[in-house]
Amino acid sequence: MRNEVEAKLLVNKPLPEDIKKKLYESLRDGEELLFAISAELLMDGSYGNSTFGVTRSRIISVDPTFPSGVLTLDISRIKNAKVKRMYSNAVLCVETDEGVIETNRFTYSVTELFDAAANYINNVNSGMDPEEQLELIRERFTKRKLTCPKCGRRLSRRNPVCLKCADKKRFATRVFGYVKPYIPVLIFSLVLSSATTAATLIPPYLTKELVDNVIKNGDIAGLRKIVLLLLGIYAFQAGIGAVRNFTLRITGEKIVTNLRNEVYAKAQTLPLKYYDKTSTGSVMSRINGDTQNLQNFIIRISQDVIIQVFTMIGIMAIMFAMNWKLSILSLLPVPIVVYGSRVFSKHIRPFYRRLWKRRSRISSILADTLPGIRVVKAFTSEDRAVQHFEKCGEDLLNENIRAAKITSAFPAVVSFLVMCGGLVIWGLGGYWVINSPDRLTVGVLVSFISYTHMFYGPIQFFAGLSDTFQNALTSAERIFEILDAEPETDLGKGYKPESIKGRIEFRNVSFSYESGKKVLDNVSFVIEPGQSLGIVGATGSGKSTIVNLLMRFYDNYEGEILIDGIDIKDIDLKYYRSQIGYVLQEPMLFNDTIYRNIAYSKPDASVEEVIEAAVVANAHNFIKRLPDAYDTFLGERGVGLSGGEKQRISIARAVLKDPAILILDEATASVDSETENLIQQAIERMIQGRTSIMIAHRLSTLKKADKIIVVDDGKIIESGTHEELMSLEGKYYRFVQIQSLSDGMFTVRSVDKDEYSEIY
């Protein structure tokens, strides 16, 4: 009877016997256990077997840390049940008239089941149909059991394709798909390879003829013939080999180009969520490095494996035809070499994984800092960026040195073993040649030795084949492009004023990014210390260029830009940028903790200062609610900060820097209205007492600016306060009108939507 009940019981995993016993012993006569959750965590936080069971009238919790080992409670007594999530664990809290009772503690692995159980209890108590509620529980348990029959991976819904297994099945076909267009070329290359391989088998045989017949008999004509023949064979090998290598290289490059293009095209279509979890550096490393590895593998599989098999068979046939006893002797080291290769391969694998990880880390730094080079420069962090890069480079170097030790030692050992095999043949073969020349001639012995050495080539090839999967090739070509580029010359070399008050003057500034159209044309304006300037203009009008020049990202402009009356080109660049806070439209956050992202602008800031900056930026409230709070690692699984949250972190970074001049480049452009308000509050707090330049497409955010300039086609066409510009009824006025209209349309649409839902 109990077995039948047990078979019907909904449970996430088989319950241990002792737990099961306690659970069933706690049941009253006729009471049926509906479902049970095995929790794997005890109330004291240690791992162990605990269970939460539900009957129609009671909950039963089994946990060895309870005084009696069991806790039971009538469901009707429960006023509310809820799961309290903590860090890596949670508890089920049930509220009764006597207070809150914690019935079970569990890891995140079963939180969803406890959520469902809490819902069941609350819903049943509120009068909902228990059978319907039990059906929901059943669905939850069933959903949990949806796993791929092959790999055990949890599936999201019924009968979906398990991506991992499907990929595996299709792997060979997919790889073949890339090779398919090049099959004729590869066959041609294979024919050439076979020809050169066959040619390599001939010289040892000719050596035998040379030693045994030609030299021994003083046959000069025969000598000439064999030497010419050998010359011909070597020339043939070299010529055909060159053509083969060329063909293979071109084919390989074509395959890798197609593959890289496809991976890149796929990377464009991946959702942003994917990039929250995966660093762009890692994606870059895949597009570059991994496609290259696959190319190598394809070439080795399609060419070298076949060639090496042929070579091995050919050599063995010749050797056994010459002398089977010596052949067997020469094969003696083979098992040791094969076994050693397998051991080597197993040991080298972790090295390659570690190397991959370190290379990936370097790619991540590149992907972070190079696209974010403006931030690096704006916060004068070039030295730190270089130091960080050097540290990771050193890690990679050390790992490479460790790997090099093992990869250098192994071939030496193999080579030594092969030599030993050769010595055995020399010893025994030499003995036979001396004592019974009719059994073995000198020529046969010499050519045999040559074949033995050749034989170990394919053996070593197969031994190292798995190595090819992991050993990535790097290209130095692009690195030299970077190394040869001109650096910024005046970092740390100019004038350093004692302080910067923040008076900014653009005096007849003109600029073009490349020879051609001027992006800024004779721009002049003044901002007094502590004033705020709003810049308005259509896309491409030159707004951001003003900021780019002020930040000294470009120096080749005409006219002058002055800070406190000093030409900015005369001020030390590093010092100058350290006086400016810069908040971009797309916040550039690094693959690091929130704390370090904020402290990036002031690495020696105290923790209090960092927290205070986050408070000013309206970021503290959401940061403190994250499980890892300030230690939250950005760019990881589960940490998907919204655009507004990222922006507030970047504002906190600027606040912490406490700059004399502040630049906000469309800081609220890509956020919703509510977030915009939060950011706007933060901005208003931040700009107090500082000279600030704000570019904003939402004109309402610029109303409070001391001065607004309207830029059109690289020229300032209007200038004044909001009120002055509105009374002018010019371009600014029209911008405001258009924006009010579009905001109005949005409101109307919202109303329509509400009306729609009321009607239907």
Partner 1 sequence: MNTRKYIDPADMRIELKTGISLRITLRDGQVYDDVEPRRMFPISNADMFILIVDKEDNELFIIKDLKQLDKESYKNISTALDRYYLIPKIREIKRIEEKFGSLKWWVKTDRGDYEFDIQHRHSDIKLLSSGRVLIRDANDNRYEIPNYRKLPRKSQYLISGDL
Residues that bind partner 1 (CB under 8 A): 40-41, 45-48, 86-89, 91, 100, 102, 107-109, 151-153, 164-165, 168, 277-278, 282, 349-351, 353-354, 356-357, 360, 593, 595, 607-608, 611-612, 615-616, 620-621, 624-625, 627-631, 633, 636-638
Alpha helices in 88-162 (DSSP H): 111-125, 130-144
- Smallest gap, in angstroms, from Cβ of residue 382 to partner 1? 22
Nearest to 76 by CA among 124, 28, 120, 113: 124
- Smallest gap, in angstroms, from Cβ of residue 369 to partner 1? 19
- Smallest gap, in angstroms, from Cβ of residue 621 to partner 1? 8
- Smallest gap, in angstroms, from Cβ of residue 41 to partner 1? 8
Nearer to partner 1, 290 or 490 (CB): 290
Nearer to partner 1, 131 or 608 (CB): 608
CA distances 88 to 45, 76, 185, 502, 632, Å, are: 11, 30, 56, 49, 14
Nearest-angstrom CA–CA distance, 209 and 212: 5
Nearer to partner 1, 528 or 612 (CB): 612
Beta strands per DSSP E along 396-503 = none
- Terminal C-alpha separation, the chain: 53
Q: Please name the amino acid found at residue 539.
A: T
Longest distance between any two alpha carbons in the chain, whole Å: 119
Nearer to partner 1, 357 or 749 (CB): 357
- Smallest gap, in angstroms, from Cβ of residue 273 to partner 1? 14
- Smallest gap, in angstroms, from Cβ of residue 376 to partner 1? 22
Length of the chain as a residue count: 760
In degrees to the nearest 10, what's the CA dihedral of 392, 397, 403, 405?
-150
Nearest-angstrom CA–CA distance, 233 and 390: 51
- Smallest gap, in angstroms, from Cβ of residue 265 to partner 1? 23
Half-sphere exposure of 627 (CA within 13 A, CB side): 11
Nearer to partner 1, 16 or 720 (CB): 16
Beta bridge partners of 36: 11, 53
CA–CA–CA angle 186, 190, 196 (5° rounding): 145
Nearer to partner 1, 52 or 557 (CB): 52
- Smallest gap, in angstroms, from Cβ of residue 406 to partner 1? 13
Nearer to partner 1, 144 or 300 (CB): 144
| Beta carbons of 534 and 705 less than 8 angstroms apart | yes
For the chain, the C-alpha Rg in angstroms (whole number) is 38
- Smallest gap, in angstroms, from Cβ of residue 335 to partner 1? 25
Nearer to partner 1, 354 or 453 (CB): 354
Kindly give, in sequence order, each residue whose CB lies less than 8 Å from that of residue 460, ignoring residues fewer than 6 positions away.
337, 341, 411, 414
- Smallest gap, in angstroms, from Cβ of residue 479 to partner 1? 24
- Smallest gap, in angstroms, from Cβ of residue 370 to partner 1? 21
Beta bridge partners of 719: 709
- Smallest gap, in angstroms, from Cβ of residue 257 to partner 1? 26
Nearer to partner 1, 618 or 701 (CB): 618
Nearest-angstrom CA–CA distance, 463 and 556: 59
Kindly give, in sequence order, each residue whose CB lies less than 8 Å from that of residue 510, ignoring residues fewer than 6 positions away.
518, 520, 521, 522, 523, 557, 558, 559, 714
- Smallest gap, in angstroms, from Cβ of residue 356 to partner 1? 8
- Smallest gap, in angstroms, from Cβ of residue 364 to partner 1? 10
Nearest to 705 by CA among 530, 544, 563: 530
Nearer to partner 1, 154 or 224 (CB): 154
Nearer to partner 1, 13 or 249 (CB): 13
Nearer to partner 1, 233 or 283 (CB): 283
3-state class (DSSP) for residue 542: coil
Q: Which two tokens stand for residue 454?
A: 């050749």
- Smallest gap, in angstroms, from Cβ of residue 285 to partner 1? 10
- Smallest gap, in angstroms, from Cβ of residue 50 to partner 1? 12
Q: Please name the amino acid found at residue 413.
A: V
Nearer to partner 1, 108 or 339 (CB): 108
Nearest-angstrom CA–CA distance, 624 and 587: 20
Nearest-angstrom CA–CA distance, 186 and 197: 16
In degrees to the nearest 10, what's the CA dihedral of 531, 537, 539, 542?
-60
Q: Which two tokens stand for residue 294?
A: 């696959």
Q: Which two tokens stand for residue 392?
A: 């990771």
Q: Specify the pairing of strand 33-38 against strand 10-11.
A: parallel
| Beta carbons of 690 and 661 less than 8 angstroms apart | yes
Nearer to partner 1, 337 or 683 (CB): 683
Beta bridge partners of 102: 93
- Smallest gap, in angstroms, from Cβ of residue 164 to partner 1? 4
Q: Is 82 left (phi over 0), alpha (psi -120 to 50) or beta?
A: beta
In degrees to the nearest 10, what's the CA dihedral of 155, 156, 158, 164?
-40
Nearer to partner 1, 163 or 235 (CB): 163
Beta bridge partners of 711: 537, 716
CA distances 726 to 195, 709, 730, Å, are: 85, 12, 7
- Smallest gap, in angstroms, from Cβ of residue 392 to partner 1? 11
Nearer to partner 1, 561 or 605 (CB): 605
Nearer to partner 1, 167 or 755 (CB): 167
The strand order across the sheet containing 504-511 reads: 520-527, 504-511, 558-563, 566-567
Nearer to partner 1, 490 or 636 (CB): 636
CA 2 distance to own-chain centroid: 52
| Beta carbons of 669 and 697 less than 8 angstroms apart | yes
Beta bridge partners of 693: 533, 663
